[in-house]
Structures are given as structure tokens and as C-alpha cells.
Amino acid sequence: MSDDILKYKLVILGDSGVGKTSLFKKLLTEKFEPKVISTIGIDKRTLNIKINLPDVGEKDAEIALYDTAGEERFRAISVSYFRDSNGILLMYDITKQNTFENLNNWLENLKTTIGDNENYLMILLGNKLDLVDEKIEKRGVEIEDAKDFCQENNIFWGGECSVKDIDIEKLKNMFKSFIEEIYKKVGDVKREESIVIEGKKNKDNKKKKKCC
């Protein structure tokens, strides 16, 4: 693989059911899967994209993308993957206030695990806008509260969306913009392959399916 390829590690965090796995799969397959299996532990895939950098031009980037379990019993496993991350994508469900309030717990875990390491950036994304627009669910989190949260915690605001309905190009452009900001922050990391650990999947037949 060419030495010119930028390599970064990005972890998707948030409570169970907010849509992390649906986002993960849509980025990789460009399709929305209405039924997904809850992540058990960690799932890792590689995403190859092209980004545009000021004064540099177009560059190839290889992203080690980690989908993490949001359930409390798997929280310790997810936390172990915070280390040496370059980007953290935080997600919440805009119809469930508790998933937004629990972001404080995720930030506390980040602070405890990573400490004073500032070589990473965070972006916040609110999901399930379609449920509000279609009046299936009531809004649980106001957009201004989410923006204030970002400002208070030095987090990029990725906006609200529906992973189900969002145009793949719009989603990828948001993702590319975030990677470009990571480059500005940490430069060319040249991450070694040895630190990338394949996630574990539950291999028994007791997996439960749940919607996005």
C-alpha cells in the first residue's frame, strides 16, 4: 500500500439503538438496512475515501472504522477502543432525550481513558429525523440544546439526519469534511496496522434483530 495514503482510526459511539450500526453499514455499502443485528462488542471495517486538503489537493485516506456496542454490559469493551483514535463520532436519537443526556457519560469515559491527549476530534450527529418529520415520534431533543452541547464541549456539529433517508453523497461529504478536519488537527498519522484489532462478533444463534 502506498505511503501516500493517510490512515486514521474513527470510532462511532452512542447508546444502543441510536443508529450507529445503520450509519456504519450505509457508509460501507451505500445502502440502508432496515433490520440490523445489534453489535456485540466491536465491529471493524476499512473505508477508503478521497479527501481534499488545502494547499495539498486530493489525497487517498484509509479509515479504520469501528462500530461499538452501546449496551451497558459492553461499555467496557467499547471504552478500550477509544485509545489512539483520531476521530470520535457521537450519535444520539433525537426522539429519546436519555440518549442525548447519556452523551455526558461517554465524554467522561473518553476523558478517563484518553486523558489529556488532544490528538483527536469529535463530531455529534442526531439521528432518526424521519420519525419526527413523519410524526411517528415526538422530538425529545431540541436542536439548539445539541448545538450548545457541542459548543460547550468543543465538538463539531454534524447536524440532524435520518440515516434511513439521507442521500449517500451528503452523508459521505459530511464524513469527508470531518476527516479533513482531523488531518488539519493531527496531520499524517501513518497508523501502523498492528494496532488495528478486528472486532468480535457474537457467533451463537441468539442475536436479536432491531430496527436501525
pLDDT tens per residue across all 212 residues of the chain? 455 889 999 999 999 899 999 999 899 888 887 765 555 457 889 999 999 887 788 999 999 999 876 455 445 555 666 778 899 999 999 999 999 999 999 898 888 777 656 678 999 999 999 999 999 999 999 999 999 999 999 999 999 999 999 999 999 999 999 999 999 888 776 544 333 333 333 434 344 444 44
Rounded to 10 degrees, what is the CA torsion of 143, 148, 154, 158?
Answer: 10
Domains of the chain: 6-193 (3.40.50.300)
Distance separating alpha carbons of residues 103 and 82, to the nearest angstrom = 15
Distance separating alpha carbons of residues 45 and 113, to the nearest angstrom = 23
Helix or strand or coil: residue 37?
Answer: strand
pLDDT at 158: 94
Alpha-carbon distances of 8 from 50, 64, 195, rounded to whole Å: 13, 6, 11
Task: Show contacts of 34-38: CB within 8 Å, 24+ apart.
Answer: 34/164, 34/211, 34/212, 35/209, 35/210, 35/211, 36/209, 36/210, 36/211, 36/212, 37/207, 37/208, 37/209, 38/69, 38/71, 38/207, 38/208, 38/209, 38/210
